[in-house]
Amino acid sequence: MKPQVFLVPLLFGVIASLSQTSPARASNYPPGYGVEQTCQTNGPVEVCAINQHYGSYPRVTIRYQGELIRSEYGRISAWVSLNGKSSTFRMRNYDFAESLALNAPYSNMCFSHAEVLSDPPPAAPRPDYPWCRTTNPRAMSPSLEWEVAPIPQAESELFTYARNEFGRANAWDIQLAFVADSGAWDSRSSANYSFRFEE
């Protein structure tokens, strides 16, 4: 899958609309820039919904400080369900907690060129930026662009019903449970940690 490329003009930059239907081209902000965030806490779990209603790359972050941390720190995965789509994801230990960011874009500002890049590549006007992994056929000369690494399929599928067919936010019903490599679970006695973010 080719990375997605978002065009950014070199002169001053014009901020584009942050709607889901129009990509973040012509913007100095990276694709998926957080324009809204709402957080909820349920016991030892915090969930933040980012760009649920506006902007691109709607996503969630999860922070866990529950009982599994005492003996399983660094060896915990999260089972996540969002509006009926679910999967299990490996968490990362950070700041005495296990954390996870889903559907978060990894973007890099780079130079793209209309021609096939030679080896070595031609000199760029701003050598402090790398060359893009793809070329932009519309570029008449090297242009500064945002390039986004592909989101893992399991993460993007989790957000299938995050917005409706018109790009408007659905309510997000999120269920969470946590499992350690040893097989120990923290699921609130099978009730799961539940969160609802209204549309």
Q: What is the pLDDT of residues 81-93, one digit of tens each?
A: 999 999 999 999 9
Bigger pLDDT: 99 or 21?
Answer: 99
Look at 143 and 164; give whichever has higher pLDDT: 164
Per-position b or e across 115-144, b if 16+ CB within 10 A of its CB: eebeeeeeeeeeeeeebbeeebeebeebbb
With cut-offs at 50, 70 and 90, classify the pLDDT of residue 175.
Answer: very high
How far is the CA of 28 from the CAs of 57, 64, 75, 110, in angstroms? 16, 33, 38, 12
* pLDDT confidence of residue 111: 79
Nearest to 41 by CA among 62, 59, 56, 23: 62
If pLDDT is split at 50, 70 and 90, which confidence band does 131 have? confident
Residue-level pLDDT at 136: 73
Cα–Cα dist 187/66, whole Å? 10
Per-residue pLDDT for 120 more than 90? no
Tens digit of pLDDT for each residue in 45-99? 999 999 999 999 999 999 999 999 988 888 999 999 999 999 999 999 987 789 9
pLDDT of residue 95: 76
What average pLDDT does this structure show over 151-167?
Answer: 95
When pLDDT is cut at 50, 70 and 90, the band that residue 114 belongs to is: low
Query: What per-residue string of b and e applies to 84-94 under the rule 16 or more CB within 10 Å gives b?
Result: eeebebebeee
Q: What is the pLDDT of residue 134?
A: 74
pLDDT at 197 over 50: yes
What letter does residue 87 receive in the DSSP assignment? Answer: E
Residue 42 in this model has a pLDDT that exceeds 90: yes
